[in-house]
Amino acid sequence: MSEERSHPVLRTAARACFDAALASVDPRRLVGQALRREGDVLRLETRDAAPSHAGPLLLVAAGKAALGMARGAAVARPDVGIVIVPHGAAGDGPPGTVVFHAAHPVPDAAGEQATARVLDAVRSAGPETLVLLLLSGGASALLVAPAGDVTLADTRELTAALLASGADITALNAVRKHCSRVKGGGLARAARDTAGVWTLLLSDVVGDDPTTIASGPAVADPTTFADARDVLEHWLAPEAVPLRVRAHIAAGIAGRVMETVKPGDPVLARVTTHVLAGNRTAVQAAAAAARRLGFEPHEIAEPLRDDAEAAGRRVVALLESLPRQRPVALVAGGETTVRVVRGGRGGRSQHLALAAAVALAGRPGVVLAAGTDGIDGPTDDAGACVDGDTVARGRARGLDAAAALAASASNPFLDATGDLIRTGPTGTNVADLVVALRPAC
């Protein structure tokens, strides 16, 4: 069969909108704009305040955008720097920094060792030293320091089970915070004897909540051990929860283990937190690009959440409801979920795209759904761009789209239809983006 795909002009335009969104959340530029040095004084430029520091600086960066963020912080001239990025991320940090590579989304021993270096450096920093903490999506997995008797193996097993369960990021992080010495304000506790912590965040979570981004290592945590227990009871069978995790959370509920940092804790007195950009930034940039390309843009105000298949159908329904007299663009962002069937292969963006392809079958238009980090689930693909003929192309290859959705096997289907998008790691991460385009008709 021919590999030619439908609507090449629309596909090119959708990809241009995606690329514009990525450019809007470039981590190096964003950090560089937030920091300013005047001689010996470093200033943080925010809308609300402009704190300053003159003295030694310890830089800690973790996440998929950590390299770019650290390079943007070169103006700060850190005395010591530790950068933790996923395996496969290429490049060096600014002078004075050491780059460690670790696993994502399920943590590994390399991440545990790198996090130990971070905690040692922070605890060793003197009262004249400021900690500049640069966090982006992926840092929850890269910063790993199991608490109490919980082991790395327990953390890996628990993380994998929760990721496969369909639990959203807030639920997942409520558990991770309570099984960690670095999350849920743990890093702020380690930095209690320093000159303070400036945290710059590139948000990959809906709503840009600092308590959820990277599991909030330097902010107060609103969740409790009881919340963590409720998440586990809702999403996992008892036998799927490692014994040491269950014992640790039970001990926390009983008051035998210290809670995560709560509002008003003195360790937060010298902590400043600033969100640089997030998913909404990317959505607005994609919509602006669509307008420049001749489409009338419409943004979905409510972020896409929950089931990816339902989100894909909703996107097409909204696209179909828009005026037909002119070319239109529908742009949305968010982070959906997929309950993974054993043996399935794909990611939430690919699953959303395939569901959209089913809803769009036989009609004009394209739907692009991709992760801004360039990685969708356990695949090498960022997502997919489908059209009204995607389902038919799959059928011609002997594949059934509905069956692929039921088996959470979007990747092989979209690979066969030629609809996958592969960018490689983008060096940024603000969750997922959806761009749906339709010509005048």
Backbone angles phi, psi at 175, to 5 degrees: -75, -45
Look at residue 5 in the predicted model and tell me its pLDDT: 65
Nearest of 276, 269, 94, 124 to residue 197 by alpha carbon: 269
Residue 136 corresponds to which tokens in the numbers above? 């982006």
Query: Which is nearest to 244 in space by CA: 170, 162, 148?
Result: 148
| 298 closest CA partner among 323, 278, 273, 274 | 323
> Are 187 and 217 spatial neighbours (Cβ–Cβ below 8 Å)?
yes
Residues 184/215, Cβ–Cβ less than 8 Å: yes
**Preceding peptide of 412 cis, ω within 30°:** no
* Bridge pairing between strands 366-371 and 383-387: antiparallel
pLDDT of amino acid 291: 98
Given this model, what pLDDT does residue 156 score?
A: 97
Q: Which two tokens stand for residue 158?
A: 């628990």
Closest CA to 378 of 423, 336, 344: 344
Beta strand segments in 225-323, E: 271-277, 296-299
For residue 178, what are its two tokens?
A: 């309570």
Provide the residue ranges of all domains of the chain, joining segments of one domain with +: 8-19+280-438, 26-145+180-223+260-277
Residue 27's nearest CA partner among 105, 177, 139 is 139
DSSP-assigned states of every residue in 55-102: S-EEEEEESTTHHHHHHHGGGG--SEEEEEEETT-----STTEEEEEE
Each residue's pLDDT, cut to its tens digit, for the chain (441 residues) gives 334 566 889 999 999 999 999 999 999 999 999 999 999 999 998 877 789 999 999 999 999 999 999 999 999 999 999 999 999 887 888 888 999 999 999 999 999 999 999 999 999 999 999 999 999 999 999 999 999 999 999 999 999 999 988 888 899 999 999 999 999 999 999 999 999 999 999 999 888 999 999 999 999 999 999 999 999 999 999 999 999 999 999 999 999 999 999 999 999 999 999 999 999 999 999 999 999 999 999 999 999 988 999 999 999 999 999 999 999 999 999 999 888 888 889 999 999 999 999 999 999 999 999 999 999 988 999 999 999 999 999 999 999 999 999 999 999 999 999 999 999 999 999 999 999 999 998
In CATH terms, the fold of domain 8-19+280-438 is glycerate kinase, domain 1 (3.40.1480)
Q: Which two tokens stand for residue 271?
A: 């902590």
277 residue type, one letter: A
How many residues are recorded in the chain? 441
Strand partners, 47: none
Query: Are the C-beta atoms of 130 and 54 separated by less than 8 Å?
Result: no
3-state class of 44 per DSSP?
A: strand
Locate 385 and state its tokens: 């761009």
Termini Cα distance of the chain:
28
The Cβ of residue 119 has, within 10 Å, a number of other Cβ atoms equal to 19
Which tokens go with 195? 């000159």
CB 434 within 8 A of CB 368: yes
Other CB atoms within 10 A of residue 406 CB:
12
Cross-strand bridge partners of residue 53:
42
Per-residue pLDDT, 305: 87
* CATH T-level fold of 26-145+180-223+260-277: Rossmann fold (3.40.50)
Torsion of CA 72, 77, 79, 82, to 10 degrees: 10
CA–CA dist 387, 409 (Å, integer): 18
pTM of the predicted structure, to 2 decimals: 0.90
